[in-house]
Amino acid sequence: MTLLRHFINGTWQESATGRVREIRSPHDQHVVTTATEGDAADALQAIVAARASFDGGAFRSWSWQDRQALLRRVADLIERDLNIYAAAESGDTAKRLIEAEYDIADVISVFRFNATISEPGHSVDVGRSEISSRIAYEPVGVCALIGPWNYPLLQISWKVAPALLAGCSFIVKPSELSPSTAVLLMHTLVEAGVPAGVANLILGAGSEVGAPLTTDPRIDLVSFTGGLQTGKHIMASAAATVKKVALELGGKNPNIIFADADLDAAIDNAVTAGFLHSGQVCSAGTRLLVEASIHDQVVSELTRRAGLITLGGPDDATAETGPLISEGHLNKVLGYMSRAISEGAQVLIGGKRASGIGLEQGWYFEPTVLDRCTTTMSCVQDESFGPIITVESFTSESEAIRLGNDTIYGLSGAVWSSDAAKCDRVAAALRHGTIWINDYGPYRPEAEWGGFKASGVGRELGGSGLHEYLEAKHLWRNTSPGRSGWFRDGGHSSE
């Protein structure tokens, strides 16, 4: 088994301490791979390399078209190696191979989409023929790109693709739990022609390598996807050197079903929204808001459907979803459940670690439906990041909106109704970054993704996702220079 290593200034390196970390399958604890375990000294080396490559200017002086072509090559190479990538992603996370294949296909789309974005820049008409006023966009500089474990390569690709297109240099820091595909990506970037020092990779725990990446003055931007508490910490760390920050944080996403909705479609999508990837999805539809008149019907069918879900490992052809990522995460979800019960939530199904043949060694949690929930309960307010749907009832459109916005988060939500005008009103009133109407979950690389309120700062994907990696520069050129004439010149004449 090859040791996964840091990639710094074009070379593969082990941590100076010699420490390693075993990556174990969340399904059965077998050792999937072993990674070098970095510390602050390793991160500093990567920062020095990225800074030198950026300040050297070689990559950012490539033409925009050459960097677009680079992204197309990256996409083609990942497509060629899709099976290798998917197996690695599935290995680290124990998500089903088919889900990992979908994820890698999405990664390819992200690179392909970014390759289509034209170089931004425009002129400003100031009404004077001797003046040219132009806005140019330059790379923001050296970026720390920190990703989570739930969609390891996809979340990193949302950062790497625009960073490359912009001409930045960067250091990727994947989750310590799921480093394999980030390592593969570095191989791909080299093969595609990314110069040494532009793309660097640091492996290890965020608690150790995170500090230099978020405090060092040589880092210009920190783009982070992960939990709220880590995001707050990173924002505070970055403030000392006034770094730019882009934060994609958690969500507590309302899925609102009105009585006039297509209930078959709404309930089926509610099951997917809550239980896909065992709820380890930032946009998971974990808060079901149901109009009171259909509450019993919806909840009974939702509970029946939750009970049918088959859990299993990545190679189990019958499995519909897999385990939680780690023992620590399972314990977090168990703690969330205990609080929910003590606060009065009614467990209709699930609520505990899953048992069953083949699941004994894994971090499995039963698909769970909690009824009689209210916004004062922590289960409604806190992200569980597990397969748990809370159910609340409402009796009017305004109450649905009020409940849907009664959260510190603002990542995504959905509204189900056959009344198009009502859907539009509710969608407009919900303060979340993505609203699905009579649907749940799709996203596109062309469309901005990100959060209102505590779900984040900035946007990924779309044109805005690129702009996180650019600085606007105003260039003012006077082709007929003259004196400003503002202050008295005391009779001096330059003639």
* x/- track of binding to ligand NAP for residues 191-210 (CB under 6 A): --------------xxx--x
Classify burial at 392, counting beta carbons within 10 Å of its beta carbon; exposed 0-12, middle 13-18, buried 19 or more.
buried
Q: Which stretch binds ligand NAP (CB under 6 A): 101-109, 120-128, 248-256, 294-302?
A: 248-256
Among 290, 369, 400, 411, binds ligand NAP (CB under 6 A): 411
Among 92, 220, 301, 383, binds ligand NAP (CB under 6 A): 383
Q: Could you say whether residue 230 binds ligand NAP (CB under 6 A)?
A: yes
Among 27, 60, 233, 432, binds ligand NAP (CB under 6 A): 233
| Contact by Cβ (8 Å): 311, 354 | yes
Q: Give the active site residue among 143, 168, 282, 423.
A: 282
Measured from the Cβ of residue 36, the count of other Cβ atoms closer than 10 Å reads: 23
Question: Known catalytic residue: 248?
Answer: yes
Distances (CA, A) of 226 to 117, 175, 284: 27, 9, 14
| Contact by Cβ (8 Å): 224, 245 | yes
Q: 477 pairs with which residues across the strands? A: 132
Question: Known catalytic residue: 282?
Answer: yes
> In the complex with ligand NAP, which residue's Cβ is closer, 251 or 413?
251
Q: Could you say whether residue 150 binds ligand NAP (CB under 6 A)?
A: yes
Residues 101-140 within binding reach of ligand NAP (CB under 6 A) = none
Among 160, 234, 391, 400, binds ligand NAP (CB under 6 A): 234
Which pair of structure tokens corresponds to residue 16?
């100076």
Residues 340-359 within binding reach of ligand NAP (CB under 6 A) = none
Residues 456-475 within binding reach of ligand NAP (CB under 6 A) = 456
Among 282, 306, 309, 454, binds ligand NAP (CB under 6 A): 282
Q: Give the active site residue among 14, 37, 208, 248.
A: 248
What angle, rounded to 10 degrees, do the helices at 97-115 and 64-80 form?
160
Residues 433-452 within binding reach of ligand NAP (CB under 6 A) = 451
Cβ 408 to ligand NAP shortest distance, Å: 12
Q: Could you say whether residue 147 binds ligand NAP (CB under 6 A)?
A: yes
Q: 11 pairs with which residues across the strands? A: 8
* x/- track of binding to ligand NAP for residues 6-35 (CB under 6 A): ------------------------------
Q: Which stretch binds ligand NAP (CB under 6 A): 44-52, 244-252, 399-407, 468-476?
A: 244-252
| Contact by Cβ (8 Å): 82, 101 | yes
Q: Could you say whether residue 176 binds ligand NAP (CB under 6 A)?
A: yes
Among 93, 155, 253, 417, binds ligand NAP (CB under 6 A): 155
Residue ranges binding ligand NAP (CB under 6 A): 146-151, 155, 173, 175-177, 205-207, 210, 213-214, 225-227, 230, 233-234, 248-251, 282, 383, 385, 411, 451, 456
**Which residues belong to the active site?**
248, 282
